[in-house]
Structure 1
Amino acid sequence: MTKHNTGFTIARRGYDTDEVDLYLAGLAAGGRPADRPMFTIRRRGYDRAQVDGHLAEIEPAPGPC
């Protein structure tokens, strides 16, 4: 496995790097998506556990209903 510029490890099968990068850029720009997208699983994608753990730390908490 190798590291990508985001710090996530590139795994044999992982989340599509472009989809994750786009989602993270939206969050960094202040976007508040209703739900986390279902990232496509690809060969040589971001390690899924690392991405899921990172998103759990940085995603905004859901607001009151």
Structure 2
Amino acid sequence: MHLVRRIRSHKEIKRTPHLHVVAAPLTKDERLSAKAIFGNRTDLSDRQTCYVDVMREKLVCKEMLLGL
């Protein structure tokens, strides 16, 4: 069970859009455990890379539709 407390999306001037997420990584038995939810550092890094790839693809599609 993930407990997301807050999500904020923004784009700073001349920077890549990004999210700030505040979450409490709770297990099914309500223990606080980032490792149980996100895995090890490599797993988390892989998830972040996948997210970036998906967002890039969406941005390219949007730019194509807008003719940028």
Taking structure 2 as the reference length, what is the TM-score of the superposition?
0.28
Which one has the bigger helix percentage?
2
Taking structure 1 as the reference length, what is the TM-score of the superposition?
0.28
